[in-house]
Amino acid sequence: MDPVTISYAVEKTDDYRASILIEGLPGVGHVGKLVADHIVDELDGVLLARIISHHFPPQVFINKEGVVNLPKNELYLVKTEPPLLLLTGDCQSTSPEGHYILTEEYLNLAELFGVTRIYTLGGYGVGRLVDEPRVLCAADRPELIEDAVNAGAVFAQEEPPGGIIGAAGLLIGLGAIRGMEGVALLGETSGYLVDPISAGSVLSVLSQMIGIDIDPSRLQETAAELEGALEKLKESEQDREQEDLSYIG
């Protein structure tokens, strides 16, 4: 395999076009992932491509049937009007360089399918529970911030402090170089829990911006499942630390 390996799940990529890419990879509160997974489920997304990479964690996950799966990112298309591409998955890069390398590959895919605007979704950890989470926004150009605010997002000059880390930030920064528009929607969240309420707020702003109604009612359910999976992962982090101590021998 190459450091980044893309395998297409459709025969002719030319048959699939979308001008909008929505990114929802794992991150703070899994807000972005929750929204992206929800849209794929809700609107019957078609899998276009799978990405595996040396830059992903060196492990496999086990599903409910006991079947192992490599860490992966996936690109889906939902056939709404306009059609949407969704980038989701179960991991991001393990290294700083890998984030840049993977984002370039995401952008190559985006170009292949005709993307001109990118929405990146995420959480903004505030360290406390939030009853009515605001959705902060940032973009590669001022007009998009205005659009986001009109759709219910908040523009706060001092927030999020310190920028946007990982694919959600780099997709906009590196996408702008290729002439793609980019806007980040970040839901306030505690940072400690999978947060379907924050995800609901982000989904609402996003729906408004792309002009597509998406029923949020099953978000809560999806979040509960993900929460369970994450609990398991936290335990396994501890296993991994143990294991690191004994890899040599």
- Which CB atom, from 46 or from 229, has the smaller least distance to a second copy? 229
- State the CB neighbour count (10 A cutoff) for residue 155: 14
CB of 30 to a second copy, least distance (A): 6
- Which amino acid, 158? E
CB of 44 to a second copy, least distance (A): 23
- Which amino acid, 3? P
Distance of CA 9 to the CA centre of its chain: 20
CB of 135 to a second copy, least distance (A): 13
Give the H or E element holding residue 31.
Answer: helix 31-42
CB of 163 to a second copy, least distance (A): 4
Which residues, including other chains, have CB under 8 Å from residue 241's CB and lie 6 or more apart?
none
CB 85 within 8 A of CB 110: yes
**Whole-angstrom distance, CA of residue 186 vs CA of residue 154:** 10
- Which amino acid, 38? H
- Which CB atom, from 33 or from 83, has the smaller least distance to a second copy? 33
CB of 134 to a second copy, least distance (A): 14
**Whole-angstrom distance, CA of residue 135 vs CA of residue 99:** 24
- Which CB atom, from 77 or from 167, has the smaller least distance to a second copy? 167
> DSSP letter at 151?
T
